[in-house]
Amino acid sequence: MALNRKDFWKGFGTALIIVAVISMVWKPVARTIPWHMLPFEIGMSRSAKISMIEEYLDRYYVEEPDEKMIDDMLYTGMLAGVGDRYTYYLTAESLGQYMENANGHFEGIGLTVYTTEAGEVMVAGVMEGQPAEKAGIQRGDVIIGVDGEDMRGKTQADVADKIRGKAGTDVTVEVARKSTGSTHSFTVTRGNVVLQTVESRMLQKGIGYIAVSGFKENTYEQFREAMQGLRTQGMQALLLDLRDNPGGLIKSVYQIGEELLPEGTMVYTVDNRNQRSDLICDEKYLDIPLVVLVNGNSASASEILSGAIKDRGVGTLVGTQTFGKGLVQRLFTLPDGSGLNITIQKYYTPNGTSIHGVGITPDEIVELPEAYQTMFREEIPAEEDAQLQRGVALLQEQLLKKDF
């Protein structure tokens, strides 16, 4: 049926009027009718949604919102949404403290912490002579509160941010002590802390011992000093203790690996474009019998070193399955002084093994006596440390073969 020209223009004019009316009434209707009561859904961009949320808060929230906290939580949530606990946002304050810690000195109480598989922030180390040790905080304590704020469910960075502060100021740390099932509260005065990540001594004739508790900016320098000291004392074999070492800087572990590994790949990484990058050791290295002690708290950079030693066949791993963190993070700084710690690569041992979520199986699995299994290496008497004793025995056997 043919359309009457008069009817067409009549209908067109009516449509224009309807559109004009909708344009005038839509905005006030949208502001007065809750969105969930509208008869349809409207797609929203991220920026539009954030603006609308801000508008609702400004209009209806009963108190004055803390704009900085809202912003920080927004950025924190963006990175948390990735679903990787090693990828997170750092405020400007947290970033400064992060950098201090990586450099090996900071203002604080003398603790190192790590995140367990259960998401708890646990004390990995208490530095000798520092405020935390003097107050009574122990390795293995789980930090559940700082200055009255609940820390359960918080990230490692959140906890570190709360504990750090200017030397001379006080902080109250609440911990759960799993060994006794009790909780304790400590008020600690912050101080100037220099991280000592390497300890060394001669165990017996010819056998040197070096324990590395983490890989910081100053760790390699401390490691070299320890090696020189032991060699002047006649070291012919080395027991390297990486138990309870949560990792740290790849640069530092690579420098130490250069001292212990022959020419070839120490570790290689693969990024999100499937591009491979190798860290290569030169031909110079300490060619003496080597045993490495590891456990379930040996993670990340300590797994890079122990995995390379195992794959390259230059040492024997003794202990229990390692933690299993096969990811590499990079720190990005933003113009406002804040930062992003983002997982950028997966790493593989020289034989092409990804240990993430699995860990490294030692050449010899040696469990500690049941009474000591929940303790850290520093707390175990040497004569009761089955892993240490087995490591010494293996080195003694190798030295005897070398003599003949």
Is 300 noted as a catalytic residue in this protein?
Answer: yes
Ramachandran quadrant class, 261 (left: phi over 0; alpha: psi -120 to 50; beta: rest): beta
- Spatial separation of the C-alpha atoms in residues 298 and 364, rounded to whole Å: 16
Cα–Cα distances in angstroms (integers) from residue 274 to residues 29, 164, 347, 395, in the given order: 51, 38, 12, 40
Q: Which residues of 95-108 are buried (b: 16+ CB within 10 A; e: fewer)?
A: bbbbebbbebebbb
- Spatial separation of the C-alpha atoms in residues 64 and 392, rounded to whole Å: 64
Who has greater pLDDT, 32 or 168? 168
187: in domain: yes
pLDDT value at residue 81 = 95
Positive or negative, the CA dihedral 332, 338, 342, 347 is positive
Is 185 noted as a catalytic residue in this protein?
Answer: no
Q: Are residues 156 and 254 in the same domain?
A: no
Is it the case that residue 269 has pLDDT exceeding 90?
yes
pLDDT interval class at 105 (50, 70, 90):
confident
Phi and psi at 273, nearest 5°, equal -105, 10
The CATH number covering residue 145 comes to 2.30.42.10
Is it the case that residue 267 has pLDDT exceeding 90?
yes
Q: Are residues 204 and 241 in the same domain?
A: yes
Is it the case that residue 76 has pLDDT exceeding 50?
yes
Query: Active site residue: 300, 302, 306, 338, which one?
Result: 300
Query: At which residue do the structure tokens 């640069």 appear?
Result: 251
Query: Active site residue: 141, 161, 311, 385, which one?
Result: 311
- In terms of Cβ atoms closer than 10 Å to its own Cβ (0-12, 13-18, 19+), residue 26 is exposed
Q: Are residues 235 and 309 in the same domain?
A: yes
Using the 3D structure, point to which of 194, 211, 244 is the last residue of a domain.
194
* Average per-residue pLDDT for the chain: 88
Is it the case that residue 36 has pLDDT exceeding 70?
no
pLDDT value at residue 156 = 86
- The count of domains in the chain is 2
Using the 3D structure, point to which of 130, 162, 194 is the last residue of a domain.
194
Query: Active site residue: 154, 162, 216, 325, which one?
Result: 325
Strand order in the sheet with 316-319: 198-204, 207-212, 237-241, 290-294, 316-319, 364-365
Is 325 noted as a catalytic residue in this protein?
Answer: yes
pLDDT interval class at 397 (50, 70, 90):
very high
49: in domain: no
Q: Are residues 223 and 127 in the same domain?
A: no
- What ranges make up the beta strands (E) of 247-288? 264-271, 276-281
Domain holding 303, by residue range, is: 198-403
236: in domain: yes
Q: Are residues 182 and 330 in the same domain?
A: no
- Reference 310, options 270, 354, 350; nearest CA is 350
Who has greater pLDDT, 103 or 50? 50
pLDDT value at residue 22 = 46
Least confident of 34-43, 93-102, 362-371: 34-43
pLDDT, average across residues 255-276: 97
- Spatial separation of the C-alpha atoms in residues 117 and 209, rounded to whole Å: 29
Ramachandran quadrant class, 264 (left: phi over 0; alpha: psi -120 to 50; beta: rest): left
pLDDT value at residue 39 = 57
- Spatial separation of the C-alpha atoms in residues 138 and 75, rounded to whole Å: 33
Both tokens of 320, joined, read 């229990």
251, 216 Cβ separation under 8 angstroms? no
Q: What is the pLDDT of residues 358-393, one digit of tens each?
A: 999 999 999 998 888 877 787 788 999 999 999 999
249, 238 Cβ separation under 8 angstroms? no
pTM, 2 dp: 0.75
Is it the case that residue 27 has pLDDT exceeding 90?
no
Is it the case that residue 50 has pLDDT exceeding 70?
yes
Q: What is the pLDDT of residues 204-263, one digit of tens each?
A: 999 999 999 999 999 999 999 999 999 999 999 999 999 999 999 999 999 999 999 999
